[in-house]
Chains A and B, each alone.
Chain A
């Protein structure tokens, strides 16, 4: 029975092979082993949402998944998703609506918002609030974040993008 496990995965499109301690969680692996520090570590027990990353295209809590469980998966962090241009409109809207202040929650907030606008293009403000309910922001009071996401939904609907 091993306390270290070999894993092989892709992170932001790059293949990664490592041997990791079984107890290492995914977000620590991404931050400490791979230096993708855009995923933040807040509560470390699944409440704050700051550690949100994508695994096989779906957002997950990086603190509630072991790095070893990411074996064979495709992991994306805010660095990869932002660089791809996929969320450029969300990033712009967050700036325009002052939907961030200290920025600690922003990468996770953006990944959560990206999943919402992709999966639920017709979402209204209540649905936006429900969808981001798992992400704490201690600065903005959420109003501006909901405004920003709503603006992107409206713009994408107008452009027929979603």
Chain B
């Protein structure tokens, strides 16, 4: 037993969660799948006095679709997302990225909402959410609000969620005909956090009309490469265009080194991934 001593509440409703957050503030942590939080507790990198377990709060889990959108409840396990026919059909980028999220035993437990709310800069799901221009649903004592993914990831483990809010769902527009996707990451072991990764959504049959290239494992948050997207705008995606993307990435990515690789190595790897992904885009 290595985790610090804490109290524990198995919450039964969001209202109860809001009350506990109001009472305990920063001393409380929300427990979703626990696949990152438990590790930090075991390592004593965090020492909350209260864990509020969301696993028994009704209504936070499940994948539903409307004509144009797919809604994934925050407590939906990665395994459910990975094996969902709705996700496979309408969000192929997520389906392709999911096998890279840790390992089977962790995907059985980890949740989409937990991954997005944690906002690990090297994680796959925040990058996919950003590439898909998804909306994040936050619920607080005053009700729900929707936050655009562009405005959600603010820094290392830092998001636009208020301290009294709970991430309750992520809503994606269904990927449409005419869109292409690509996903690649480089990790030392399959399932480990990426040294560098790229999630891409591109619109346009012959020429690129719109591109969302999101790199992860590169800065303190997933990075939407805007200059690279501009470099593709209105062009056929060929060797020349890919070269222009690589040049643009120099201004897009303010690379941080980490234990796995220094900034120069990461820049090289980002270029490698840009080339691989843009050369092998898959139609939605």
Contacts and interface: CB of A to CB of B under 8 A. Distances in A.
Do the two shown chains form a genuine complex with each other? yes
Contacts of B108: 58-60
Given A45-B42, A130-B190, 11 more contacts: A1-B7, A21-B5, A23-B6, A28-B1, A44-B2, A59-B108, A61-B35, A61-B105, A63-B42, A66-B51, A129-B190
Contacts of B50: 1
Interface in B104-142: 104-106, 108-109
A130 B103 CA distance: 8
A129 B99 CA distance: 12
A80 interface: no
Given A68-B10, A134-B191, A23 B103 contact: no
B105 A3 contact: no
Nearest to A41: B2
A5 interface: yes
Interface string B5-17: 1111110000000
Give 6 closest A-B pairs by Cβ, nearest first.
A134-B103, A22-B8, A1-B7, A45-B39, A133-B190, A64-B38
A155 interface: no
A60 B41 CA distance: 17
A107 interface: no
A39 interface: no
16 contacts: A2-B8, A3-B7, A23-B4, A46-B35, A58-B108, A59-B108, A60-B105, A60-B106, A64-B35, A64-B39, A66-B34, A112-B104, A133-B190, A134-B104, A134-B105, A134-B191
Nearest to A61: B105
Contact of A44 (B42, B55, B105): B42
Contacts of A131: 104
Given A1-B50, A46-B35, A64-B106, A23 B41 contact: yes
Nearest to B102: A134
A1 B34 contact: no
Q: Is the interface of A mostly helix, strand, loop or mixed?
A: mixed
A157 to B, nearest CB: 20
Interface in A4-56: 5, 21-25, 28, 44-46, 49, 52
Interface string A63-105: 1111011010000000000000000000000000000000000
Given A2-B7, A130-B190, A45 B43 contact: yes
Contact of B104 (A21, A25, A59): A59
Contacts of A129: 190
Interface of B: 1-10, 31, 34-35, 38-39, 41-43, 50-51, 53, 55, 79, 99, 102-106, 108-109, 189-191
B251 to A, nearest CB: 35
A115 interface: yes
A25 B103 contact: no
B106 A134 contact: yes
Nearest to B35: A64
Contacts of A66: 8, 31, 34, 38, 51
Nearest to B77: A58
User: In this complex, which of A21, A63, A66 has the most chain B Cβ atoms within 10 angstroms of its Cβ?
Assistant: A66
B34 A133 contact: no
A141 B39 CA distance: 26
B23 to A, nearest CB: 10
A66 B8 CA distance: 10
A57 B88 CA distance: 24
Interface string A108-124: 00001001100000000
A129 B103 CA distance: 11
A101 to B, nearest CB: 20
Nearest to B49: A1
Given A23-B1, A23-B6, A58-B79, A65 B34 contact: yes
